[in-house]
A and B are shown apart, each in its own frame.
Chain A
Amino acid sequence: MYEQEFNKLFELAKNKVDDIEIMLTSGKSFSVRINQQSVESFNYADSKGIGIRIIKDGKVGYSYTEEFSDEAFALIIDEAIASSEMVENLEPVKFDNYPDIPEQLNIYSAELDKVKVEDKISLAQKLESLALEADKRVFNVPYAAYGDGYSYSKIANSKGLNKESKSNYCSAFVMVLAQEGEDKKSGMDFKMSRDFKDIDPVKIVDKAVKQATDLLNGATPASGQYPVVLSNEMMASLLSTFSGIFSAKSVQEGKSLLKGKIGEKISDPVVTILDDGLHPDGMVTSPFDSEGYPSQRTPLIDDGILKNFLQNTITAAKDNVKSTGNASRSYKGSLNVSTTNLVLQPGKATVKDLIKSYDRVIEVVSLQGLHSGANPISGDFSLAAEGFLYEQGERKEALSNFTISGNFFQILKDIEKVGDNAEFNMQSCSSPAVLIKQLMVSSK
């Protein structure tokens, strides 16, 4: 697909630049939201964009367009050259024709593209009706939504690379509000998959409703240090928030405190973390990265020892290692390093085991403020939390209006047990629940 557009760009760039890379993403997506059983909104998207990266006199230039016309293509070649002239960073950059991964990935489902719109609507309607029926205290369902999408990406460069890939997904999301007396609490859950039949509205609704209703009329804990169990979702959220610490780019820019720690023990031995660009259940699984480099599995922390940083070819050249296939960029942006599917490996302990580990344990099931209350560089965080107090393994009461604070690097060291219930969050990060020796809990 899009051979004509790519050929045109290669032709326009000829003799004007030393090398050129062209990336295209296009896609179609659909979403429906239900309110009071009728369609609140339908969204159809049909999007595409081309981004180019050029090398001229050793400098890199970027430009992009969402308008596909000869004029727009000519303009972006000129803009990319002009942009390269401003650049003062002369780190060596090269394009190459990278090999393909040996295996065939299962990231596109033809079946999913055949699901009827009526079935999608009725799934979203079911999310709302089930939520309202599930518990008298549920008084509002602000979100009952289904969405799916298809995306295509293509990358080619003047060294002969030419790769394409397509994938699709579907997802369902529900958010409920529950009230008892004056107190209101919210609960949410989602499911993402490539198989429509995987989406079980009963399961999603049960979890969201249980979370909201269980949290109603919670007490506030006394401030102090507590052993804390972070639920699988919350640990995954925290890990996503701090995932930048594993990027070689962050390390090289002095933005990661893991600098110089490869081979050192940086966490408790129960912790094993890897970046898995080929994970069968991952939603960002892809055969190649944004430079066309083959995707792979990269161990980050093995039994507590820091093994690797995530690399693109530019950071890898500086560190004198190979790329790990973690180059990332959108057609609008510049080359970076990102995680793909980030996985904290599950252990054997059940959540009950984790909770029973101390006489008093706080289980945290909701965190707010991850984009503002967490400092991705220092690792410090202070976050609004909700959860439950357990004594001798028995749930004593719900807790709200408190914060937990600490430092992510310290958490890695303080993880004492790892649960068996790993699940992916919406940022493609998978984690089980974990037991943390202690965190500061603040309230009154």
Chain B
Amino acid sequence: MISQELIAKVLERALSNGADFAELFLENTYNSSIRFYDGKTQQSIVGKDFGVGIRVFYGISAIYAYTSDLTEKGLLSAADAVAKADRKDQVIRPQELSQVRVDNRHQVKIPGNTVDKSEKLDFIRKIDKSARIYSDKIAQVDLTLLEKKQDILIANSEGLFVEDTRNYTRAYSVVIAASGSENQTCFDGPGALAGYEFIRSLDPEEIGKNSAEIAVKMLEADYAPSGTFPVIIDNGFGGVIFHEACGHSLEATSVAKGASIFSGKMNQQIATEKVTAIDDGTIVNKWGSLNIDDEGTPAEKTVLIDKGILKSYMVDKLGGKKMDMESTGSGRRQSYKYAPTSRMRNTYIAPGKDSFEDMVASIDFGLYARKMGGGSVLPGTGNFNFSVAEGYLIRNGKIAEPVRGATLIGNGGDILHKISMISDNLELAEGMCGSVSGSIPTTVGQPAIKVDQIIVGGRK
């Protein structure tokens, strides 16, 4: 896209006012989406994201500029913009660029653009049909097939020059059940860092039927009760609790500034001994995986909490500089329009030894959250909230009637001490995580866990 010679020139220019470090991130992304609802293909959009982001550090100040003008003039003017933000007497020269080859762990077997459009439409129609056949209460099935091929090039003044390609494939569905003035929705969004073979591995009829079943069940459910109860949060998307309640507060972005409840807690007990939590960017073809992060650092498997003891934060280059730590390969960004920062990849609680049956049997009255919706947290206070997409009451040690409309609230520092049982049924689920460096693919996950008490905000 642009020559190595020009990249070297841009890096040198970016350092010319005395910055300590300069980096260039170039992106050429092919985006394709097909959207289907009302039983018809509504639109298909294909397009190209294209641009470059240039970043320099002056100490721990980060200066970032991006442009989609990739001419020499455009690039040098972006380099000038970052260079002139500060001034230091000592000017360093960039090291000579030497190309690093990426070991591609996440092979694409079937590139999306080699698959016939009729096959893609057929997959989508099967989800639509199986959802609508399940019940006449299904009012809408809204489906999106997303394919993205992101070519990146990262070069920096430490001599790094690396290129990689990331292929993302995802099928996103929203099934709406309605009766009278009532409406309930069920979301599903399996995705992978892989090609079309991932879609072929899915069963569209299962997806449609399962979503329809949940939406209809929640339509018929009564409102959840209010109060503080024991709650079992099941595997897969249930892991959003760790993601929101703790994960964000373990990102260097907030830890480095002392703006996290986990700042200064390294090697301290922050959770019950049963809790081991991991952020792993290396799982083959997983949605949140990467060969290299958006700063060119190889992805790794990072143990965050080992048997309740805080072992690591998620660290990017700048966070590492502020905290005197090595990057954990966690520097991520949505696109060239964002400076990278520390973010999650595939984040999960490791499996335990408790059986799911024992967990349910241990509760006289409580909530079983089979499927979670989204949530959010303020890292500074640790206060989180998230919604239960599919919930049931637990009565006398047995799963009882479905309930809807529940929100769980609490504090991240607190809840980790209340996880008393962890099952062995670990499962991961795909999502998009939004934060300062944009919206990025991440997975959440856990086995079923029992939280001894949590505030449930229902309507009764």
**Which residues of A are in contact with B by a Cβ distance under 8 Å?**
35, 38-49, 51, 60-68, 72, 75-76, 79-80, 82-83, 86-89, 140, 142, 175, 177, 184-186, 223, 253-255, 257, 332-334, 368-369, 371-373, 375, 377-378, 380, 382-384, 400-406, 409, 440, 442-444
Contact = CB atoms under 8 A, between A and B. Distances in A.
A41 B63 contact: yes
- Which of B28, B258, B457 has its CB near the most chain A CB atoms (within 10 A)? B457
A175 B34 CA distance: 39
- Which of B61, B182, B384, B458 has its CB near the most chain A CB atoms (within 10 A)? B61
A48 B68 CA distance: 7
B184 interface: yes
Interface string B8-51: 00000000000000000000100100110110111111111111
A383 B182 CA distance: 19
B261 interface: yes
B41 A384 contact: no
Contacts of A401: 383, 409-410, 455
B406 A79 contact: no
Given A72-B48, A142-B254, A186-B380, A87 B43 contact: yes
Interface string B47-77: 1111100000011111111111110001000
Interface size band for B:
35 or more
B339 interface: yes
Nearest to A31: B64
A88 B41 contact: yes
Given A257-B183, A401-B410, 10 more contacts: A42-B82, A43-B63, A44-B81, A49-B68, A63-B46, A372-B386, A373-B373, A373-B407, A378-B183, A401-B383
B40 A88 contact: yes
Interface string B237-264: 0000000000000000010011101000
A362 B234 CA distance: 34
B80 to A, nearest CB: 10
A315 B455 CA distance: 43
- Which of A38, A60, A378 has its CB near the most chain B CB atoms (within 10 A)? A378
Nearest to A28: B67
B44 A223 contact: no
Given A66-B50, A83-B44, A86-B34, A44 B380 contact: no
Interface in B421-460: 455-460
Contact of B62 (A42, A44, A79, A175): A42
A82 B47 CA distance: 12
A427 B85 CA distance: 30
A29 to B, nearest CB: 10
B337 interface: yes
B121 A86 contact: yes
The 8 A-B pairs of least Cβ separation, nearest first, read A403-B457, A442-B226, A372-B374, A64-B47, A384-B385, A369-B385, A382-B407, A44-B65
Contacts of B303: none
B235 interface: no
B50 A67 contact: yes
A382 B376 contact: no
Interface in B331-371: 337, 339
Nearest to A90: B40
Contacts of A68: 68
Contact of B66 (A45, A254, A377, A378): A45
B181 A405 contact: no
A89 B40 contact: yes
B178 interface: yes
A372 B375 CA distance: 5
Given A87-B44, A89-B40, A442 B61 contact: no
A175 B381 CA distance: 12
A195 B34 CA distance: 42
Contacts of B339: 41, 43
Interface of B: 28, 31, 34-35, 37-38, 40-51, 58-70, 74, 78, 81-82, 85-86, 117, 121, 139-140, 176, 178, 181-185, 226-228, 254, 257-259, 261, 337, 339, 373-376, 378-387, 404-407, 409-410, 455-460
Contacts of A72: 48, 50
In terms of DSSP, what is the predominant structure of the interface of chain B?
A: strand
A334 B337 contact: no
Contacts of A48: 68-69
Given A142-B257, A142-B380, A184-B261, A64 B45 contact: yes
A384 B383 contact: yes
B43 A444 contact: no
Contacts of A89: 38, 40-43
Contacts of B382: 184
Contacts of B182: 378
A223 B455 CA distance: 11
A75 B38 CA distance: 30
A306 to B, nearest CB: 15
Contacts of B43: 60, 62, 83, 87, 89, 334
Given A43-B64, A89-B41, A140-B259, A368 B378 contact: yes
A46 B67 contact: yes
Contacts of B337: 45, 47
Contacts of A64: 45, 47-48
A332 B47 contact: yes
B459 A440 contact: yes
A41 B459 contact: no
B234 to A, nearest CB: 17
B457 to A, nearest CB: 3
A54 to B, nearest CB: 12
Contacts of A62: 43-47
B424 to A, nearest CB: 28
18 contacts: A38-B61, A42-B63, A43-B63, A45-B67, A62-B45, A62-B47, A63-B45, A64-B47, A67-B28, A83-B44, A87-B44, A184-B381, A253-B140, A368-B409, A382-B407, A382-B459, A383-B457, A384-B407
A371 B407 CA distance: 12
A30 to B, nearest CB: 9
Contact of A372 (B62, B65, B373, B457): B373
B385 A368 contact: yes
B313 to A, nearest CB: 16
A79 B373 contact: no
Given A255-B176, A372-B375, A442 B66 contact: no
Contacts of A368: 376, 378, 383-385, 409
B260 to A, nearest CB: 9
